[in-house]
């Protein structure tokens, strides 16, 4: 059976996306968990998995200049558009490995064949075991290009794991923002839950990320976290998103138990409290919406 994939995103960071995913993991009764926030992965901190075997991930290469054949002609520096080639005072050329994007143009134009491309390990990924199901997670190397390729890889492994273990659902913790990693989290997913907060910035960022979601024509719903912080804005955001086609909008009031659960290293459902009850209601509605998207999804038949 084709597993269904729910992606939780937020636009703005720090709205409680990861806490919601961990809570959903506890409620789902068997799902594959995918941490797509590879730039700052945190899901493992509350799911406390038994770590799986780490695998290197490489999605780019970097130029290397061999000093011997190099004649110092400077052609590489001329063609590089990323300011990645520098010349030392004694005319030795070298590559800034952080600035290099791996286009290999310098290698191709070097008249002395002094440049070669080396593949760069720019991340690590693993399939770990949690009490709620397998967790596919990864870590992008510091200062690497979050091109979305590692996110795509995490999702591919999550799908393979779901098929292998016969699990019907993938719960993905998406990345903040609207760029590559978010686009890579959404491509081919079935349902999106956007977690926001009733602040001027939360509203602004939600609007932008929902434009991306609508561009993909994905069904979506919204969870307004810390709703009691600004009830007027919560109401306005709720009305906005329903008008934009959200299947539902639910609210969760601020509850110190959410942070307390994180400090205790557990999900908020296991920890308990008011927010846990509200998140459980949101989960029930999400599960119903996922079932509906499945029925309506005849194109995959």
Partner 1 sequence: MLRIAVASGKGGTGKTTLAVNLAALLADQGHGVRLLDADVEEPDCHLFLHPHDESSAPVDVLIPVVDDARCTACRVCADVCAFNAITVIGSSVLVFPELCHSCGACPLLCPESALHEESRTTGQVRRGTVDRPGASFELVTGVLTVGEAKPVPVTKAVRAAGEREGADVVLVDAPPGTSCPVIESVRGADLVVLVTEPTPFGLNDLRLAVEMVRALGLRAVVAINRAGVGDDRTLRYCEEEGLEVVLELPDDRRIAEAYSRGELLVDALPELRQLFESMWRRIVNAVTAQEVRP
Q: Given the rule CB under 8 A, which residues bind partner 1?
A: 10-15, 18, 39-40, 42, 45-46, 61, 79, 81-82, 98, 101-105, 108-109, 140, 142-146, 148, 176-180, 183, 197-202, 204-205, 208-209, 211-212, 215, 226, 229-230, 233, 256, 259, 262-263, 265
200 or 243: CB nearest partner 1: 200
Measured in residues, the chain has a length of 301
114 or 140: CB nearest partner 1: 140
Q: How far is the CB of 11 from partner 1 (least distance, A)?
A: 6
Dist. CA 153–CA 184, nearest whole Å: 9
41 or 169: CB nearest partner 1: 41
Q: How far is the CB of 40 from partner 1 (least distance, A)?
A: 4
Dist. CA 188–CA 183, nearest whole Å: 10
Q: How far is the CB of 2 from partner 1 (least distance, A)?
A: 27
Dist. CA 290–CA 286, nearest whole Å: 6
Asked if 59 and 127 touch (Cβ cutoff 8 Å), the reply is no
Buried b (16+ CB within 10 A) or exposed e, 65-100: beeeebeeeebbeeebeeebbeeeeeeebbbeeeeb
139 or 190: CB nearest partner 1: 139
Dist. CA 185–CA 7, nearest whole Å: 7
Helix residue spans in 39-148 (DSSP H): 43-47, 75-79, 105-109
Q: How far is the CB of 151 from partner 1 (least distance, A)?
A: 11
242 or 260: CB nearest partner 1: 260
Q: How far is the CB of 166 from partner 1 (least distance, A)?
A: 32
Of 213, 48, 33, 228, nearest in space to 133 by CA: 33
Q: How far is the CB of 115 from partner 1 (least distance, A)?
A: 13
108 or 156: CB nearest partner 1: 108
Q: How far is the CB of 17 from partner 1 (least distance, A)?
A: 9
144 or 157: CB nearest partner 1: 144
What token pair was written down for 136?
């596919």
CA dihedral 208, 6, 125, 29 (to 10 degrees): 150
40 or 121: CB nearest partner 1: 40
How many CA atoms within 13 Å lie on the side-chain side of 55?
13
Q: How far is the CB of 133 from partner 1 (least distance, A)?
A: 21
Dist. CA 24–CA 290, nearest whole Å: 13
DSSP 104-117: -HHHHH-TT--EEE
């Amino acid at each position: 059976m084709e597993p269904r994939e729910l992606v939780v995103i937020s636009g703005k960071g720090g709205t409680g996306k990861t806490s919601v995913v961990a809570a959903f993991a506890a409620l789902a009764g068997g799902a594959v968990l995918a941490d797509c926030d590879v730039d700052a992965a945190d899901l493992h901190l509350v799911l406390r998995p038994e770590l799986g075997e780490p695998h290197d991930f490489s999605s780019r290469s970097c130029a290397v200049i061999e000093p011997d054949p190099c004649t110092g002609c400077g052609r590489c520096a001329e063609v590089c558009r990323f300011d990645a080639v520098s010349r030392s005072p004694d005319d030795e050329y070298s590559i800034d490995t952080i600035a290099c994007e791996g286009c290999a143009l310098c290698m191709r134009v070097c008249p002395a064949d002094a440049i070669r491309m080396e593949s760069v390990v720019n991340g690590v990924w693993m399939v770990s075991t949690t009490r709620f199901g397998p967790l596919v997670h990864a870590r992008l190397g510091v200062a690497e290009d979050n091109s979305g390729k590692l996110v795509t890889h995490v999702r591919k492994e999550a799908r393979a794991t779901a098929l292998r273990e016969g699990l019907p659902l993938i719960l993905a913790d998406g990345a903040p923002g609207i760029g590559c990693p978010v686009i890579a989290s959404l491509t081919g997913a079935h349902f999106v839950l956007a977690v926001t907060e009733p602040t001027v910035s939360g509203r602004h960022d939600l609007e932008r990320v929902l434009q991306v979601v609508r561009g993909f024509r994905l069904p979506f719903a919204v969870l307004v976290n810390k709703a009691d912080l600004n009830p007027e804005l919560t109401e306005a955001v709720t009305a906005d998103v329903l008008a934009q086609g959200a299947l539902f909008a639910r609210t969760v009031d601020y509850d110190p138990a959410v942070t307390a659960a994180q400090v205790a290293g557990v999900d908020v459902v296991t920890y308990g409290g008011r927010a846990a009850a509200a998140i459980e209601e949101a989960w029930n509605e999400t599960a119903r919406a996922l079932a509906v998207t499945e029925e309506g999804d005849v194109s995959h038949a």
